[in-house]
Amino acid sequence: MTRFIHLLSGGAAQGLVTSLKPAIEQATDTQLSCTFNAVGMMKQKLLEGAPCDVVILTAALIEQLSASGHVLAGSARNLGVVKTGVAVKHGTPWPQIETAEQLKAALLAATGIYFADPQLATAGIHFMKVLNGLGIADTVAGKLRPYPNGNTAMNALAACDDPHVIGCTQVTEILITAGIDLVADLPFEFELATMYTAGIRSTSTCVAQAQTMINTLVSPEHAQLRAKGGFLPVA
């Protein structure tokens, strides 16, 4: 009988988990069943009782879930820090976004702005703060294209025929999407650097396998893979 490890994860870790899935399944003698979406949605699913052995969310959310008893005490391990960046379709000119004014000009010039859920996704929540900080939230409202998570937003950006669109989400989600390019991280004054953390669901029936999975994700052996995928090293 096949045994499964059920994962609920923010979209930021999708590329890393997918890359290491064969290694995880071999090390745990299980099959990995993964659900990726905005971190707020994944937290809700866990609290609603969705099947879950391992959960990957922001460090702040994992801390909350540990305090409430939903994540096994002492099981949390940091994967790395993920920044938020700007993307354009591959083959189109890259806008200058080193400063706030340059970012503002790029967003105003774009015909469509693709980003993650402004209520449940880490990058989407932050991006709305950026628009308000730049003073253009109302001006660009008609061309905002929110999606459930960063991965779906970037796939939609890639599929769009308009060469003048732009996207903003976590760097890890940009790097795994074919057909788009990472222009740069957000300017310093709007920087978002988010620690992502894995933990074991307190009701998991395969704690040993879940721990092996997390050990694989954070292993020094895979440091280069994490860095290539957009995870900055844990200090």
Per-residue pLDDT tens, the chain, 235 aa: give them.
789 999 999 999 999 999 999 999 999 999 999 999 999 999 999 999 999 999 999 999 999 999 999 999 999 999 999 999 999 999 999 999 999 999 999 999 999 999 999 999 999 999 999 999 999 999 999 999 999 999 999 999 999 999 999 999 999 999 999 999 999 999 999 999 999 999 999 999 999 999 999 999 999 999 999 999 999 998 6
Other residues' Cβ atoms within 10 Å of the Cβ of residue 228:
13
Beta strands of 61-176 (E only): which ranges? 77-89, 112-116, 144-147, 165-170
The reported pLDDT for the residue numbered 1 is 72
Distance between CA atoms of 92 and 123, rounded to whole angstroms?
23
* DSSP H or E run through 62: helix 59-67
Q: With contact defined as beta carbons under 8 Å apart, do 116 and 146 qualify? A: yes
Domains contained in the chain, CATH given: 4-81+196-232 (3.40.190.10), 82-190 (3.40.190.10)
User: For residues 77 and 197, is the Cβ–Cβ distance under 8 A?
Assistant: yes
Q: Tell me how far apart the alpha carbons of residues 214 and 71 are, in angstroms, rounded to a whole number.
A: 13
pLDDT digits (tens, 9 = 90+) for 26-38: 999 999 999 999 9
Q: What is the pLDDT of residue 2?
A: 81
196 close to 11: Cβ distance less than 8 angstroms: no
CA distance 62 to 42: 11
Polymer length in residues for the chain: 235
What's residue 107's pLDDT? 98
Greatest extent of the chain over all pairs of C-alpha atoms, in Å: 58
- Give the pLDDT confidence score for residue 234 in this predicted structure: 81
Q: How far apart are CA 170 and CA 177, in angstroms?
A: 12
pLDDT at 111: 98
What is the model's pTM?
Answer: 0.94
